[in-house]
Every structure is written in structure tokens, then in C-alpha cells.
């Protein structure tokens, strides 16, 4: 799968140069190079040409830039407002009752999930997979990543083919080791809890404002009305109260790995 951010990092490492040096060479800002490497922005045509000239890669980066722009267009219109929130938020919180959140999915897990719908062509699956991986990189691997907290029901960790599920569990454990990522699991013993009514997400912006996100079978929507967002925030707090602490959640995840 083509990955422009990863390829740019690889080329820079091979040459042993900094983002500042690349920026000076192609006459853009360092912050823009950083944005290219974390998928927040895609190089314009003329910048992609300059990058290819600098690294001596023919037209490789130009092709990857075209693919990256095409992938961005694959995001449904209804999802784009939430992606804007993810790019700008200082804190992101996700609760998932039935699946691993998209930001923490392995490539194999995401591919199997897309294929399970039975309604997508192989090309559509590949396109959505590219977009999901790019989204993960844009949020989790940027220079100033947001605080990210994820709560999952234990039952969500059991879904999937054994090998896919095992790798996914290990990926969750690794993700939780990041300084800015916190993974919590609601154990089966918690029984009925506030999150049983459905999955949701919350984004806290740099200015302190908060927005919510809900998704149904057909599409998702961003909620900005304060009283509705407050309900989601209270629901998050209620779910947190029955979730295991991060260290115990990690122990449970690793125990499930051993059982595979």
C-alpha cells in the first residue's frame, strides 16, 4: 500500500537530513514538511516535483501525492467535519461497544472489517483502507499529537479471526504504551452500563470548546449543541467509572493474547 508520509520519512532518514534541511531545499516551511510526514497535508504538484528532484526519486513522490489526494476524497462528506475536529483537537475520547476504534485498528483488522460488509468492491476496500491508515498517521504520529483516550467493551476484543484478533490485541497493548494514548477496557463483569446505548466520540478543542460525534448504520454527525455534548461527556464519565484502569486493562488484553 502506498504511504507518502512513511516514504518521506524513509527518504529523509536515508539521506540523514532534518525537516529543516528538506524545507530549505524545496522552499517551504518546516511545519509543512512535518504536515506532509504526518498526512495532515498533501504536497501540491510543484512541491512534489521539488521533493522528487531533491531526493532523486524520479516521479515517485508525485505519484504518491496524487494517490494521497485521491484517498482523501474517499472520505464520505458526512465524515469530513469530524476529521477536521480530529486534526484540530487537543484531546480526543472514543468509546466503542462492539469494535476496535478506527484509530487503533491494524491494517488486517480494518481490511477484514471492510470486507465483512459484503457491499464494497476490492477497489473500494483498498481505498478505504488507505484512508484509514493515513488518518491514523495524521493524528497519532504528528509532532504534537492530541491526548487520546479509548474505552472498549471487553466483548469488542473477541471479534475477528484468531490471528487477526491476536495481532490486533498486541497492537492495542503497544498503542497504550504511548505517552499520550490511554486504553481502558470495560470488563464483562460490569454488566449493563451507560455505554450500552451506543458508541460515540468527544473532541476538546484548543480553546476549550467540546464537540461530540455519533454514527449510525448510514452515516455520522458532529454534535456542537452544548446540552447534547454535555450528555455525552457525562456518559463518558459514567463509563469510565466501570472501566478497568489502564494497567489492568493492558493486563486483560495481554491475557486474551495468551488465550489465542
Domains in the chain: how many in total? 2
CA 119 remoteness from chain centre: 23
CATH code for the domain of 45: 1.10.260.40
- At 1, the pLDDT band (50, 70, 90 cuts) reads very low
Q: Return the percentage of the chain with pLDDT > 90, whole number.
A: 53
pTM for the whole thing?
Answer: 0.73
Sorted by sequence, the CB contacts under 8 Å of residue 3 that are 6+ apart come out as 64, 133, 134, 137
Residue at grid coordinates 486504553: 183
d(CA 124, CA 119): 9
- State which of 40-44, 95-99, 214-218, 242-246 shows the largest mean pLDDT: 242-246
- At 191, the pLDDT band (50, 70, 90 cuts) reads confident
As a whole number, the mean pLDDT across the chain is: 88
Structural domain of 62: 4-73
| C-alpha cell belonging to residue 26 | 524545496
CATH code for the domain of 239: 3.30.870
pLDDT for residue 201 is more than 90? yes
Same domain, 213 and 133: yes
Amino acid at each position: 500500500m502506498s504511504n507518502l508520509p512513511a516514504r518521506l520519512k524513509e527518504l529523509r532518514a536515508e539521506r540523514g537530513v532534518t525537516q529543516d534541511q528538506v524545507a530549505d531545499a524545496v522552499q517551504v516551511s518546516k511545519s509543512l514538511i512535518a504536515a506532509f510526514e504526518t498526512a495532515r497535508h498533501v504536497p501540491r504538484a510543484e512541491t512534489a516535483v521539488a521533493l522528487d528532484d531533491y531526493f532523486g526519486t524520479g516521479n515517485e513522490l508525485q505519484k504518491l501525492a496524487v494517490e494521497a489526494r485521491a484517498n482523501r476524497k474517499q472520505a464520505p462528506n458526512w465524515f469530513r467535519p469530524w476529521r477536521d475536529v480530529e486534526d484540530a483537537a487537543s484531546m480526543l475520547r472514543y468509546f466503542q461497544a462492539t469494535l476496535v476504534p478506527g484509530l487503533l485498528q491494524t491494517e488486517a483488522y480494518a481490511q477484514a472489517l471492510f470486507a465483512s460488509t459484503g457491499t464494497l468492491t476490492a477497489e473500494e476496500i483498498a481505498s478505504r483502507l488507505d484512508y484509514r491508515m493515513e488518518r491514523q498517521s495524521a493524528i497519532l504520529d504528528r509532532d504534537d499529537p492530541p491526548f487520546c483516550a479509548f474505552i472498549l467493551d471487553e466483548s469488542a476484543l473477541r471479534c475477528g479471526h484468531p490471528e487477526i484478533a491476536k495481532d490486533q490485541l498486541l497492537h492495542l497493548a503497544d498503542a497504550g504504551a504511548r505517552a499520550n494514548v490511554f486504553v481502558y477496557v470495560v470488563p464483562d463483569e460490569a454488566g449493563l452500563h451507560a455505554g450500552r446505548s451506543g458508541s460515540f466520540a468527544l473532541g476538546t478543542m484548543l480553546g476549550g470548546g467540546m464537540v461530540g460525534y455519533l454514527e449510525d448504520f448510514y452515516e455520522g454527525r458532529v454534535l456542537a449543541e452544548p446540552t447534547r455534548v454535555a450528555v455525552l461527556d457525562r456518559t463518558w464519565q459514567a463509563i469510565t467509572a466501570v472501566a478497568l484502569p489502564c494497567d489492568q486493562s493492558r493486563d486483560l488484553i495481554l491475557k486474551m493474547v495468551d488465550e489465542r
